[in-house]
Structure 1
Amino acid sequence: MAWECGIDDCGSVFGDVEDLVVHQATEHERRECKVCGTVVPDGYLAIRHAFTEHSRAEYVRAYDADAEDVRQREELLEEIESEADMERIATELKR
């Protein structure tokens, strides 16, 4: 399965999800969480932060999101987390 970076108009494609997440964390600007102000890598890690550290209601308010936005991001998290070797991602990001 090919994984495409969905940040802005990047469009870079990767053979595995781990390379995609590392790319997003290292090649794109970090973002400030609109809920708490923490600066996090963009892409998957930003979504993971928002959905694990904050309630869905906080996310909706801070990002002017709707139920469909939440559903899409939850599906993306589930898809990535079912495939990703999180230990490999952590190791790559420590380099």
Structure 2
Amino acid sequence: MSDWECGIDGCGEAFDDVEEAIVHQTTDHKRRECKVCGSVVPDGYFAIRHAFDEHSRAEYVRAYGASAAEVRQRERVRDAIEDDADLQQVVNRLDEVTGGL
């Protein structure tokens, strides 16, 4: 059984490790424009991380019309990923996949 499933737009692709799930989200899904600042970021984990590292919860709620429960859910996803992921491995894997772009 796979531990990680891509939740972007009902994708549902499953992965044995979180690093491969992040690489999938970054390479196989469209990038999104942040509604707060206009930055273009990969969808999924990196979009969540951007939103909560770069902006306040209030900015996120206003820009996305998110409820407190939706904010907490995204924070739980971010925290679960960061508890399990080797983000340097993700960076290295992305460099391999994209040729260092």
TM-score (norm 1): 0.97
Cα distance in 2 for partners of 1:46, 1:71 equals 15
Q: Tell me, what secondary structure is at the counterpart of 2:37?
A: coil
TM-score (norm 2): 0.91
Alignment correspondent of 2:6 = 5
Cα distance in 1 for partners of 2:7, 2:83 equals 18
Determine what percentage of the aligned residue pairs are the same residue. Answer: 63
Cα distance in 1 for partners of 2:54, 2:94 equals 20
Q: Which structure 1 residue ranges, 5 or more long, are not aligned?
A: none
What is the deviation of 1:2? 1.3
1:79 equivalent to 2:89? Answer no
Cα distance in 1 for partners of 2:62, 2:78 equals 20
Alignment correspondent of 1:34 = 35
Cα distance in 2 for partners of 1:73, 1:51 equals 9
Q: How does 1:1-95 map onto structure 2 within 5 Å?
A: 2-95=3-96
What is the deviation of 1:8? 0.5
Cα distance in 2 for partners of 1:57, 1:94 equals 34
Cα distance in 1 for partners of 2:93, 2:40 equals 19
Q: What amino acid maps onto 1:14 in structure 2?
A: F
Q: Tell me, what secondary structure is at the counterpart of 2:10?
A: coil
Structure 1 runs (4+) deviating above 3 angstroms are: none
What is the deviation of 1:6? 0.2
